[in-house]
Amino acid sequence: MESFQNTQPIYLQIMNLIKKQIATSVFNPGQLLESVRELAMIYQVNPNTVQRALSELEREGLVRSERTIGRYITKDEAAIAQLHQNLVDEATSTYINNVLELHLSPEEILTTVKSRLKGDNT
């Protein structure tokens, strides 16, 4: 059913999903992406919504569109590595800011992360 939250625009969620897939080589550099209509089927959303997500990703240089052929993932592997690093950094900053605001000490933060990694806490 590949559904989405309702608290954030779907096109942003799709952007983040595809970014993750590029960063983790689910999509390889230079690979031809599924078509707008196919992705719309997969995600169970309107083609216009997919189109919007992909347009934004193109604006960020992660994909490029070939007018009547389809969309390709960028071949720039350095950019992809950078993307991966940015996603990690952003997630980490957000998390640490969050728990610091909750008044956890650095030691408590580490303990919390460790216990979550050990236990099978889904």
CB of 34 to a second copy, least distance (A): 20
Q: Within a 10 A sphere around the Cβ of 37, how many other Cβ atoms?
A: 11
Interface positions, 1-40, toward DNA (CB under 7 A): 6, 9-11, 33-38
With CA atoms as reference, report the closest residue to 76 among 120, 30, 33.
Answer: 30
Helices of type H across 1-122 = 10-23, 36-43, 47-59, 77-101, 106-118
CB of 41 to a second copy, least distance (A): 23
Report residue 64: phi and psi, to 5°. Answer: -135, 145
CB of 43 to DNA, least distance (A): 8
Question: In this chain, which of 67, 101, 117, 118 binds DNA, going by CB under 7 A?
Answer: 67
Question: In this chain, which of 55, 87, 96, 99 binds DNA, going by CB under 7 A?
Answer: 55
Interatomic CA distance for residues 42 and 58, integer angstroms: 20
Tell me whether residue 38 or residue 89 sits nearer to a second copy (CB atom). 89
Q: How far apart are the two ends of the chain, measured CA to CA in Å?
A: 20
The yes or no reply on residue 41 touching DNA (CB under 7 A) is no
The yes or no reply on residue 46 touching DNA (CB under 7 A) is yes
Q: Rule CB under 7 A: which residues touch DNA?
A: 6, 9-11, 33-38, 44-49, 51-52, 54-55, 58, 65-71
